[in-house]
Structure 1
Amino acid sequence: MNMFYDMPPYGVYAPTPNQARFIRWSRSFDPGPLSKLAASFCKRLLFPSLSGPLDIETWGLKTRIDPRKNITEKRLMFSPSRFELEEREILATWLKKGDVFVDVGANVGAYSLWAGQFIGQSGRIVAIEPQPGVLGRLRANFALNPHMNTQVFACGAGAAHGLMYLSIGSNNEGGASLATISGGRDEIEVIVRPLLSIVEEARLYRIDALKIDIEGFEDRAMIPFYAEAPSALHPRLLIIERGEKDWVQDLMGVIEKIGYRLLVSTKRNHVFELGTRSD
């Protein structure tokens, strides 16, 4: 379902001419060897004049991005072509019109927006995100691209229904974690639900691709899901953040036992395929 929110229309947060010039300059190096250096230099030039989000096109889509406290949004603003490049290339090859994409730990929707270009309006995007600091921009980015069939669940994914503390880093809102609680003012209480419960409420009958990036809590979301979900709901493509150091259960063993095959391990993620896809 497409949901529109009471929010300023696209262009209200248009960059100033100087801001737009800095962003274009940084992106002109993307994704070449100087891209990271250009992005770092551009951030130092842009941030003193930045007081909120900016409306800019990313991958040909309308996006509302605030890079001040979110690493993902920094990448999207200054070097979008380098953002999870291998994973995006796999999704571009894998996904087709009408597919179902589930984004667990959606942040501001980068993966979902990318996937939406390939699955079209006949496809489904289910995005799960508990962090209120980025949730508004996730919803805005979906509303700014109404040709995508999206649904947002404002909660975390875990083993059971309940409330948990989410630890939010002061320098990276997108790095909020249920797995590592630091204590202090950066903790907030959020609703947590089993992933299967969310999938069932969304009335999904299959999942063509699922990306999960929940900062070390992946095992506690995915293992209960695999224990209870029918095999028809097992994602055929699985992109999972490399959070082994924070896992308390053998998620890799569970994935292997189910029959997933490792396609690639990138700097940030493992990518698995379940069987061989036939279209």
Structure 2
Amino acid sequence: MGIPTTADECNELGISHCLKAQQAKTSRERRAAWALALAAWRQGLDLDPNHLPCQFNRLHALLALGSGYTALQEGKELLSRLLTQRYLEDPSLGLTGSQPKLAWDPPRLAFAGKKARRSSKAASASRLGPRERYLHTLARWLAHHSGVVYRPEPLPYWRLAAAIDPEDLEAQMVVAMNAAAQAQPEGAFLLQKIADHFPGQKDRALQVLQLALDRYIPQKDPSKPEPDSEPEAETPPEKKPTSDAVAEIEIWAQYEGYKLRLEPDLKSIATFVLLAQDRWFESEIELCRQILKPGMNAIDVGANVGVYTFLFARCVGESGKVYAIEPTPGCLQCLRATVAQNQLDPSVQVVEAAVGEEPREVYLVCEGASVFNRIVTDPMSVVEETKPVQQITLDELWISEGSPDIDLLKVDVEGAEVPVLKGGRKLIETCSPVILFGNQNVGQFSGLESAKLLAELGYLIYVYNPVIQDLSIVQASVQPPTASNLVAVHPNRFSLASKAGLI
């Protein structure tokens, strides 16, 4: 391609650099290709400031190169401009081609099947005009990068995407499930509409409706009689069909080629996310795919229902080993059911315990959502319900298993990562595993102490970039970045990270 002279040609040049980034084997090559793409789209906007594909693609390149906050703020401003009278009166403003070529496409639901996803994408391109497709993609991009599907922040963008394209199954599911989880009247209607309009998703939609049913039925206080009612003779208490019935429901989802058992509760983040999107929302999932290979060993501390556990199992195969450590009874039931259903014993070993700095009895604080359950040493220090559980150390488990080489250690225990790491010092010093650890607890960034401890052990701290698929080093021991998870890599594992194309 020669020197571009129009915004369309600049956009084509930027897209070609994106394709080169996808084919590049090293982090440096991918980052350089994205920088060239950004320069091309900026040049296109110099030629035509209204060129919509260059505007959107520039935003995605900014996000790819680490300026996510700026990209999101400008994306919201762009969406507001596109809904003004000027753009509505001139549908061709900023669009010269028949279909805008964009650097990002909305993810499609895995449970729709490959053939259905291809036909859905093609149908969307033919069904929506250029402006509608552009608006839909921008709305989905903002929804995808503004927060998790169960949070209120991205919901307006999901609603806009669903309104623009009624055939967008994922947007319809997210909107319907949020309404159902909040007991809003349209939730049941939207789920029934999905069941009728998307026959392949009928069972899933009705499962969600069944989980949400008790939220639509007001619970009566037996101590308060109905107005204007006569006292009734005492009758034997009947079993309530609401929450008791929900507790008996078995919820399964397809995940990483396995049937994954989920908690029968929409308050469970894993249940909500996987039923709505069929994939996990944390970008570090892709990092684990890049690192783990057949025959490796991994530990998942704070496994919950096994979103990371069974991804690890898929990556390491039958020749590898995964230890899933979890103290919550409901999550343990799900983990064991998934292992049995998929015949993963002994490749996946479920360990019922909390993990800390020393072996002892501790207390599990049960929150509304199991992913937020936490451990305390004194049950009188909290007002919530507690359950006594046994705490072990990572070193204790590791030695009891014959001190195997551990390649990846994931720790997500709601702000209690430091005691877990201290209790695994021998394992860490001997194996130097890549460590993925949580950096958020109750909305606060909590990774500073973990980063300092790991830095003392020779580790460097990184954040993962899912677009470029690399690790960017940060001074997290001084001030942790605003990322949900951080990644620690010891120099002994640089070759592993390099082979994975991460550094």
Task: Assess same fold via TM > 0.5.
Answer: yes
Q: Which runs of 4+ in 1 moved over 4 A?
A: 179-182, 243-249
Residue 259, structure 1, aligned to residue 458, structure 2: yes
Alignment pair present for 1:268 and 2:484: yes
After superposition, the C-alpha distances for 1:215-238 in whole angstroms (9 at most, x for unaligned) are 111111112322x44622332x11
Give the drift of 1:102. 0.2
Compared with structure 1, are the counterparts of its residues 208 and 221 closer, same or farther at alpha carbon in structure 2 (3 Å cutoff)? same
Distance 1:103 1:230, change over 3 A: closer
Distance in 1 (alpha carbons) for counterparts of 2:294 and 2:370 = 32
Query: Once the 2 structures are TM-superposed, how far is the Cα of residue 185 of structure 1 from its aligned partner?
Result: 4.9
Looking at structure 1, the residues matched to 257 and 487 of structure 2 have their Cα atoms a distance apart, in angstroms, of 25
Shift of 1:179: 5.1
Letter paired with 1:273: V
Residue 153 of structure 1 pairs with residue 351 of structure 2: yes
Structure showing greater radius of gyration is 2
Instruction: Tell me if the contact between 2:280 and 2:307 (Cα under 8 Å) persists in the aligned partners.
Output: no
Query: Given that residues 363 and 376 in structure 2 are in contact (C-alpha distance below 8 angstroms), is that contact kept between their aligned partners in structure 1?
Result: no
Contact kept, 8 Å, 2:357 with 2:419, in 1: the verdict is: yes
CA contact (8 A) 1:92 1:118 kept: yes
| Alpha-carbon distance change, 142 to 83 in structure 1, aligned in 2, over 3 angstroms | farther
Question: 2:333 maps to which residue?
Answer: 136
Distance in 2 between residues matched to 1:133 and 1:260, nearest whole Å: 35
Partner of 1:195: 394
Aligned position for 1:277: 495
Task: Note the C-alpha offset of 1:189.
Answer: 1.1
Instruction: Verify: 1:127 aligned to 2:313, yes or no.
Output: no
Aligned-partner Cα distance in 2 for 1:71–1:56: 14
Question: How far is the alpha carbon of 1:165 from its aligned partner?
Answer: 1.3
Which letter maps to 1:153?
V
| Equivalent of 1:239 in 416, 419, 436 | 436
Aligned positions, number: 252
1:223 has 2:441 as partner:
no
**Aligned-pair RMSD on alpha carbons?**
3.1
Separation in 2, partners of 1:107, 1:82: 13
Structure 2 contact 296–407 (Cα < 8 Å) conserved: yes
Residues 126, 202 of structure 1: 8 Å contact kept: no
Q: Considering fraction of residues, name the structure with more strand.
A: 1
- Give the conservation status (yes or no) of the 8 Å contact 1:134–1:174: no
Q: Secondary structure in 2 aligned to 1:90?
A: helix
Quickly say closer, same or farther: Cα 1:221–1:247, change in 2 above 3 A.
farther
Query: Unmatched 5+ residue regions in structure 2?
Result: 1-110, 121-136, 150-157, 159-170, 181-190, 192-204, 212-245, 465-481
The range that moved more, 258-267 or 268-277, is: 258-267
2:451–2:461 contact (8 Å) kept in structure 1: no
Change (3 A) 1:250 1:71: same
Taking the aligned partners of 2:428 and 2:414, their CA distance within structure 1 comes to 26
Equivalent position to 1:42, from 156, 171, 176? 176
Cα 1:277/1:77, change in 2 over 3 Å: farther
Tell me the SS of whatever aligns to 1:69.
coil
Q: Distance in 2 between matches of 1:150 and 1:230?
A: 21
Deviation at 1:82, TM superposition (A): 4.5
TM-score if structure 2 supplies the norm length? 0.46
Q: Distance in 2 between matches of 1:174 and 1:251?
A: 20
Q: Which residue of 1 aligns with 2:372?
A: 175
In the TM superposition, residue 92 of structure 1 has moved relative to its aligned partner by: 0.9
- Does the Cα contact within 8 Å between 1:205 and 1:232 map onto a contact in 2? no
Match among 268, 287, 299 for residue 102 of structure 1: 299
Of 275, 278, 284, which residue of structure 2 is paired with 1:77? 275
2:322–2:349 CA contact under 8 A, matched in 1: yes
Distance 1:211 1:187 in 2: 25
What's 1:114 paired with?
311
Instruction: Name the CA distance, whole Å, in 2 between partners of 1:68 and 1:145.
Output: 24
Judged with a 3 Å threshold, the aligned counterparts in structure 2 of structure 1 residues 183 and 40 are, in CA distance, closer, same or farther, namely farther
Conserved 8 A contact 2:256-2:314: no
Deviations for 1:18-65, whole angstroms, at most 9, x for unmatched residues? Answer: xxxxx859xx79x95356333542322454412223223123221112
In structure 1, the partner of 2:413 is 214
Q: Distance in 2 between matches of 1:179 and 1:165?
A: 5
Cα distance change on mapping 1:246 and 1:90 into 2, 3 Å: closer
The sequence identity of aligned pairs, in percent, is: 25
- Cα deviation, residue 243, structure 1: 4.2
Give the whole-Å Cα distance in 2 for the aligned partners of 1:125 and 1:194: 16
Offset, 1:124 = 0.4
Which segment drifts farther, 133-142 or 254-263? 254-263
Higher helix share: 2
Paired residue type of 2:175: F
